[in-house]
Chain A
Amino acid sequence: MAITLSASDSALAEAPRPARLTPPQVWGVVMLAPYILVFLAFVVYPVGYGLWLARDPASYVALFNDPIFARAAVNTLIFLLVGINLKMLIALFLSGFFVQQRGWIKWLSVIFILPWAVPSIPTILSVRFMLNPEWGVVNQLIFKFTGEDGPNWLNDPTVALGMAIGMHIWKSLPFWTLILMTGRLAISQDLFEAAEVDGATWMQKFRYITWPSMQTLYITCTLLSMIWTLGDFNSVYLLTGGGPADLTHVLSTLGIRYLRLDQLSLAMASIVCAMPLVLPLVYFMMKRLSR
């Protein structure tokens, strides 16, 4: 975050030197000004203020002594390592399914994009109701067929976290499948035809043609998805509310938890503690994109 502050200072220092600017560049400064103002007022100031609030070492001690924080950090790692890799593997597989030339697959792809096109709040609440132990449709069906009461799904931290990961996958799988599809479609069809003539198996075609040309895209997507998932507040907060007993929090919901408990410096400290996870990923992505 320190980078943000120092770099914006230099950008500012350059702006007020009209003498050396050509007239079009003066217009350029004027046109750039609205964004710079927004950036100063709503990024630089909040971040600076937040860091100032998080300056007290005592709040970090308090944070590390809070078992909820450790649990949230572990949950976040599980979310990223298990959730994202599972999601990207499914997306890679499904992108191969959706590039098949069939009328009904084209229609299915239109329906498949729905989770991405609709807002997440109503669908997450819909799932939450489905999993309700007493009236939810899942346990109603279990009772109908077995005559026994179903489990209290969201009351077990492991199951609840698994459901939150499932919710996240449900929501963002279509987007990544679409991106990987464009990658697959960019591969020259001649390669597959030649492989076909040589009698290559499905596995060999994937191993020697598809994967080598999609490798970079796949890894970029995985990293980008990790960054975005770190900020996935809705899937956890609206499905489990961080519960039971605050055991399913992730780093993005933890700040809000402390805010609600009126522990502002702890909220900021928890966000600062997430930065070692966020900044390397961001640095890597920026390197890739500014090439």
Chain B
Amino acid sequence: MKLPTLREVGTEARLLLIGIPVFIWTMIPIYHMFLFAISPKEDAFSGKLWPDHPTLHNFSIVFHQQHYFLRDFWIQFGNSVIIAVAVGALTLIIATCAAYAISRLRVPGSRVVMNLALFTYFIPAAFLAVPMYRTMGKYGLLNNDWSLILAMVTIASPYAIWVLKQASDKLPVELDEAAVMDGASPLQIFRLVYVPLMMPSLVAIGTYAVLLAWNEYLYAFLLLSNDKAITLPVALGNFLAADDSPWELLMTTGFIYALPPAAVYYAFKRYMVGGLTAGAVKS
């Protein structure tokens, strides 16, 4: 084995000098949460870097709903799942149909629709929250899963349509022409040619919409307030209402809540990086 030269050692040292602070900076909030989750109540506040008696007891309390704040944990977990899946499915259906109509069928006025969608995408969702809250009240949907589902579909579809339109513009027109020659109807082309070819982008967009809905706090806490209707992030926020809230249980619940999206993100990273970052910024 060749010994590294002094210059190589110097470069490596400088890289480490950047890498180690980056690692610490990234991990601190996450590690702090993890530490609380595996610490017994009396150890949690001692300021140690590793608890004397690490335990999974907190997880058992959460899973068995053995605390006042956690009495509806599974219902709230279920709400989060149902809403995230419904938003993913609805966004996919609406956005795929719209992108097909805009990009392949060239409906008159579709450019206007595209620009409106893009415009909505750029207006930060936080500014639409108050009017959306009032509107859902008028529609009588407050405290109903559908209010959050429809609100999140509204927020997720513009970007979805835009990314899918960009992707479908890249498919060769000859495919459609050949299918039309063979007597295929627009719906058959959509089902048999378009959707299979768009699969990678559809996976990326579906994941995007599911994660967006799972992670949403502001809209969830405005639109849902009943203990049995709220999603997990709202339940986490509610912990703050009391002064004596059990931090170790809050951090445990937060850890459980953070695991699924992280897993989904890493599982679909391949699609996410190709499909989304390319679409996110076109310089």
Contact = CB atoms under 8 A, between A and B. Distances in A.
What is the interface of chain A mostly: helix, strand, loop, or mixed? helix
B29 A170 contact: yes
B23 A47 contact: no
Nearest to B35: A137
Interface residues of A, number: 101
Given A117-B262, A255-B129, 18 more contacts: A7-B116, A8-B116, A10-B109, A25-B106, A38-B150, A41-B139, A42-B151, A53-B134, A108-B19, A112-B23, A115-B29, A117-B261, A121-B217, A121-B233, A127-B29, A179-B281, A230-B127, A238-B237
Interface stretch (A65-73, A94-102, A193-201): A94-102
Contacts of A227: 122, 124
B105 A25 contact: yes
19 contacts: A11-B116, A25-B106, A27-B101, A27-B105, A31-B97, A39-B154, A47-B128, A53-B134, A111-B23, A122-B255, A126-B33, A135-B247, A170-B26, A178-B277, A183-B283, A252-B124, A252-B126, A286-B122, A289-B118
B22 interface: yes
A14 B117 CA distance: 17
Contacts of B222: 256, 259
Contacts of B117: 35, 39
Given A28-B186, A170-B25, A233 B218 contact: yes
A140 interface: yes
A58 interface: no
Interface of A: 3-4, 7-8, 10-11, 14-15, 21, 23-25, 27-29, 31-32, 34-36, 38-39, 41-43, 45-47, 49-50, 53, 94, 97, 100, 102, 104-105, 108, 110-127, 129-130, 135, 137, 140-141, 144, 170, 174, 178-179, 182-183, 216-217, 220-221, 224, 227-228, 230-234, 237-238, 252-253, 255-256, 259, 264, 267-268, 271, 274, 278, 281-282, 285-286, 288-290
A217 B19 contact: no
A62 to B, nearest CB: 16
Contact of B32 (A130, A179, A253, A267): A130
B258 A118 contact: yes
Contacts of B240: 125
Interface of B: 15, 18-19, 22-23, 25-30, 32-33, 36, 45-47, 93-95, 97-98, 100-102, 105-110, 112-113, 115-120, 122-135, 138-139, 150-151, 153-154, 157, 161, 185-187, 190, 214-215, 217-218, 222, 233, 236-237, 239-240, 247, 250-251, 253-255, 257-258, 261-262, 265-266, 273, 277-278, 280-283
